[in-house]
Amino acid sequence: MEGKVGFIGFGSMGGVLLRSLLRYGSLIEQEVIVSTRSREKLSGFISKYPGLEVMQSNTELAERCHTVFICVGTNEVKGVIEEINPSLAEDAHLVYISGGLTISNVAKIYDGKISKVIPSLTCGTRNCVILVHHNEKVTEDNSMRLERCLSKIGTVKIIAEDQFEIGADITSCAPAFMAAMMKHFTAAAVKNSVFSEEEALAMVRTTMLGTATLLSKRKIPFDSLIDRVATNGGITGDGVNVLDEKLPAVFDELFAVTLAKNDAVKAGMDEQYGS
Ligand SMILES: NC(=O)c1ccc[n+]([C@@H]2O[C@H](COP(=O)([O-])OP(=O)(O)OC[C@H]3O[C@@H](n4cnc5c(N)ncnc54)[C@H](OP(=O)(O)O)[C@@H]3O)[C@@H](O)[C@H]2O)c1
């Protein structure tokens, strides 16, 4: 990317994103500048990347960076943009990662190049889909550079802004949904067996990885995989029937709840950013 690249906020997602971009060669440490509220959280990271600069303030970072990733919590984005705005170069490119925050709201306080990027915790494994939308001020050169950088850690998918809610559910929230499903699956297995939780977990983890490999690397469709395990109905088929009966309603409810929450977050953001 052009010039230095700044990262404001080294929390759960900012940490994974920056670590992944460095680990997989999208960025080199000498071109990165970081600032975050609790600087002590950076100590282990800096010892691994001594060439990386840490700024005492967000404004110092903004003065030195052409591209700035804002990885603070959704409610804190406005304060950070207002703080750094006077220090940013006129053609600076802001990249933010907060799903519930629309570009039109950000544009009310920053009249420049804005990209919305939704990564996932799984970017740390390079198996992630990164959702991206640019505003009209982002040039082709800016978007190409950003997308090239992100494509080294995952699959970049450009989407319309109104598709971020469901898109984020199935890419960015999904690791938590999948972990929650497997947590209940494992707990029920332990309840009905003599396996310890640790033993059951080890079996489930390996089987999940193998299943994901068959589905993604070998591109086996869901139904074909089910048919290959549940031959002639049998025991697996009876289990699959339970899931077929109960899960559609569970997932309809899940999407209803997350979409409602998205609407509430959006309404909160509309209020915060004003008209
Ligand atoms: N977690 C995910 O899987 C995920 C996925 C996609 C998108 N997102 C989005 O990413 C954003 C951040 O989420 P997160 O889970 O990474 O939250 P988080 O763990 O709370 O990280 C936020 C970081 O920003 C720092 N910070 C807060 N205010 C700051 C300021 N004024 N200046 C500098 N640093 C500041 C915080 O400092 P402290 O350490 O002092 O609190 C913290 O390190 C959210 O909008 C979220 O929706 C998250």
Per-residue pLDDT tens for 81-92? 999 999 999 999
Residue 80 in contact with ligand 1 by CB distance below 6 A = yes
Q: Nearest C-alpha to atom 13 of ligand 1 is from which residue? A: 73
Average pLDDT for 43-47: 93
Please say if the pLDDT value at position 178 is more than 90. yes
For residue 231, name the pLDDT band (cuts at 50, 70, 90): confident
- Asked whether residue 233 carries a pLDDT value surpassing 80, the answer given is no
Q: Which residue has its alpha carbon closest to ligand 1 atom 21?
A: 11
Phi, psi of 239 (to 5 degrees): -65, -45
Report the nearest-CA residue for atom 18 of ligand 1.
Answer: 11
User: Which tokens in the block code for residue 156?
Assistant: 């970049």
- Most informative mutation of 20, 35, 36 for ligand 1 (most atoms within 8 A of CB): 36
Mutation test of ligand 1: which of 39, 60, 72 has the most ligand atoms closer than 8 Å to its C-beta?
A: 72
Residue 3: pLDDT band with limits 50, 70, 90:
confident
Q: Alpha carbon of 150 to those of 31, 136, 170, 214, 269: distances in Å?
A: 15, 20, 18, 25, 27
- Ligand 1 centre to CA of 253 (Å) is 27
Any ligand 1 atom below 6 A from CB of 147: no
Tokens 């039109």 sit on residue: 104
Give tens-digit pLDDT for 195-228: 999 999 999 999 999 999 999 989 999 999 999 9
Strand order in the sheet with 113-118: 53-54, 32-35, 4-8, 65-70, 93-96, 113-118, 129-134, 155-158
List, as own/partner pairs, every contact residues 268-275 make where C-beta atoms lie below 8 angstroms and the sequence separation is at least 24, other chains included: 268/75, 268/100, 269/74, 269/100, 269/101, 269/102, 269/105, 270/105, 272/75, 272/78, 272/105, 273/78, 273/105, 273/106, 273/108, 273/109, 274/108
Task: Indicate if the pLDDT at residue 150 is higher than 80.
Answer: yes
Q: Taking the domains of the chain in order of start, what are their residue ranges?
A: 4-161, 174-270
Confidence of residue 93 (pLDDT cuts 50, 70, 90): very high
- Residue 164 beta carbon below 6 angstroms from any ligand 1 atom: no
Cβ of 72 closer than 6 Å to ligand 1, yes or no, is: yes
Q: Whose CA is nearest to atom 37 of ligand 1?
A: 37
Name the CATH code of domain 4-161 (choices 3.30.70.2700, 3.40.50.720, 3.40.50.2000, 3.30.60.50).
3.40.50.720
Closest ligand 1 atom to residue 100 Cα is 47
pLDDT for 42:
95
At 236-260, the pLDDT tens digits run 999 999 999 999 999 999 999 999 9
Banded pLDDT at 179 (limits 50, 70, 90):
very high
Q: Are 94 and 68 in contact (CB under 8 A)?
A: yes
pLDDT at 275: 72
Among protein residues, the one with the nearest Cα to ligand 1's atom 33 is 36
Ramachandran class of 274: left when φ > 0, alpha when ψ lies in -120 to 50, beta otherwise: left
Q: In the predicted model, is pLDDT for residue 232 greater than 90?
A: no
